[in-house]
Amino acid sequence: MFFVGYTRAAKLSTNHGRTCSSFRVNSPQFSRSELADAFAKFEATVDAAAQSHDWDAWVQHYTPDVVYIEHAAGTMHGRDEVREWIGRTMGSFPGSHMVAFPSLWSVIDEPTGRVIMQLDNPMRDPGDGTVIGETNISIITYAGDGLWRQQEDIYNPLRFVQATLKWCRKAAELGTLDEDGARFLEQYGGAQ
């Protein structure tokens, strides 16, 4: 399956004089400053949504026909599918216990109109100040006018399960494990 903005090429193609992959990226040119400004707004929107738990503004910073690739959940097409997925994900454990999604580093790839970043996904304090979370790589593709047309989240789901189990065990040890965490621990962690 091919996604918006990609065309299959028979052999390695180049993008502005450099080899990028077996797919040619059809991207209008955006200035580095426009990409940086749009990414700063993206980060502020993510932060506000993480604090308020209102993910609609986050969904609105994508184009109406966004393609969102989430390796464990599949590929979503359009804002409505993304809105349904993020509401379900962040409204249930362990997403409901993640408190922020700051980028640890980012790279602006001006020729392709992309920003590649490593995002942290820390869970709330289990009661003693311990910070437990896991990271992922996200690639967002800019569409112009402050909107993003594609996002792909790349991560190892097993590492997220391990981090969540570590959080559950710490919360259980501290007497702060809630029912959702206890169910997760029972289902995925067994007795340890």
Is residue 20 domain-resident?
no
**pTM to 2 decimals?**
0.82
Share of the chain above pLDDT 70, in %: 84
Is residue 107 domain-resident?
yes
State how many domains the chain has: 1
CA distance 66 to 59: 10
Give me the domain span that covers residue 108: 28-160
Kindly tell me if the per-residue pLDDT of 2 is higher than 70: no
Is residue 97 domain-resident?
yes
181, 171 Cβ separation under 8 angstroms: yes
Is residue 128 domain-resident?
yes
Is residue 7 domain-resident?
no
pLDDT confidence band for 190 (50 / 70 / 90) = low
Q: What DSSP element (H or E) covers 105?
A: strand 103-109
Is residue 4 domain-resident?
no
Mean pLDDT of 123-145: 98
Is residue 109 domain-resident?
yes
**pLDDT: is 16 or 78 the higher one?**
78
Mean pLDDT of the chain, nearest integer: 88
Q: Give the CATH number, domain containing residue 82.
A: 3.10.450.50
CA distance 7 to 85: 27
Per-residue pLDDT tens for 138-167?
Answer: 999 999 999 999 999 999 999 999 999 999
Residue 28 confidence (pLDDT): 67
Tokens of 135: 């990271």
Residue 189 confidence (pLDDT): 82
Residue 23 confidence (pLDDT): 41
112, 27 Cβ separation under 8 angstroms: yes
Q: What are the phi and psi torsion angles at 169 (to 5°)? A: -65, -40
Is residue 135 domain-resident?
yes
Mean pLDDT of 84-96: 96
Mean pLDDT of 91-98: 96
Mean pLDDT of 64-81: 97
Contacts of 165 by beta carbon, 8 Å cutoff, 6+ apart: 184, 185, 188, 189
Total length of the chain = 192
